[in-house]
Amino acid sequence: MALSLGERPITPPVLLAPLAGITDLPFRTLVSRFGAGLVVSEMIASGEFLTDRPGTRDKAELGAQVENTSVQIAGREPGPMAEAARMVADMGAKVIDINMGCPAKKVTGGWSGSALMQVPDHALTLIEAVVAAIDLPVTLKTRLGWNSDCLNAPELARRAEDAGVRMVVIHGRTRAQFYKGHADWAAIRAVKEAVSIPVVANGDITDTASARAALAQSGADGVMIGRGAQGAPWALAQVAAEIFGGPEPVIPEGRALTAMVSEHYAAMLEFYGPQLGNRVARKHLGWYMDRAGTEPALRQRLLTERDTAEVLRMIPDALDCRQVAA
């Protein structure tokens, strides 16, 4: 099956996972530049979204109007979920994703995210409300189930398809596992066999080898990559090229790498403002330096420097340690 949402193709079938505090607009833009079939915004809590009425920057953060962006929403009641979906659609969204997979206690404690897998009948009321509220493709992200006694992803996916969902993404763990152990890609096959819509495998897929294994074991139509893109925004395009025959990305090295990282840093300063942008950028700079093998003392100086001009000056030296690993 070709990976598509109705008449909207997802090419290549390699998607960027939403990661809180990481996959912000500057990073999603960079990943998209290398090549990704779909990038997903950080999760929006529907109740807070409606109460706070997003400002200009919050709206920009969604990237709703960007062609290959899906906006992810979460919540526990159908009314606010439907209204949030309508608001995001009015902002120009192309795809809406419903989060029923987040394992974080602050999310599940409010009966959102993966907690909804414990109450599939109620979960369906949310799905039905969102699908009915908008004239856009709606997708669903879940886990295998709440725990080993509640492995109901196939049933939930089948009912979601009947309700109008166009694609499901399955993280190969239960909520009880959080991120422990290894994702069970083979267990995703039961979901694939339960539905006729596309299924995307997620969890521990970081490179071409793990993507091949996940596809083979799950029978899924595509893969979703999260951590594997940290410090390597070209990772999705590289996997796509090696598995699906897409164009090979030019992996930056030397001056090209320095230019890319400097541009990413500058984009974060522009988006968040200098002070907050410098702090938020540190995790990304750290991942780039991990790959470059930056000398510890220089790494520490760069990550504690508050002068943004000085950070930009230090980036070339920090990355010029050895050839960056692909």
* Model pLDDT for residues 156-166, shown as the tens digit of each residue: 999 999 999 99
The span from the CA of 234 to the CA of 249, in Å, is 7
**DSSP code, position 102:** -
Instruction: Please state whether beta strands 38-40 and 44-45 pair in parallel, antiparallel, or not at all (unpaired).
Output: unpaired
Q: What is the mean pLDDT of residues 183-206?
A: 97
The span from the CA of 40 to the CA of 63, in Å, is 9
From residue 102, give the alpha-carbon distance in Å to each of 20, 99, 106, 272: 10, 7, 10, 25
Going by C-beta distance under 8 Å and a sequence separation of 6 or more, which residues neighbour residue 279?
Answer: none
From residue 159, give the alpha-carbon distance in Å to each of 134, 152, 162: 19, 11, 5
**Is residue 325 predicted with pLDDT exceeding 60?**
no
**Is residue 59 predicted with pLDDT exceeding 70?**
no
Share of the chain above pLDDT 70, in %: 94
pTM of this structure? 0.92
The span from the CA of 46 to the CA of 194, in Å, is 29
End-to-end CA, the chain: 30
Which of 10, 81, 102, 140 does the annotation list as catalytic?
A: 102
pLDDT band at 1 (very low <50, low <70, confident <90, very high): very low
Active site residue 321: no
The span from the CA of 11 to the CA of 244, in Å, is 9
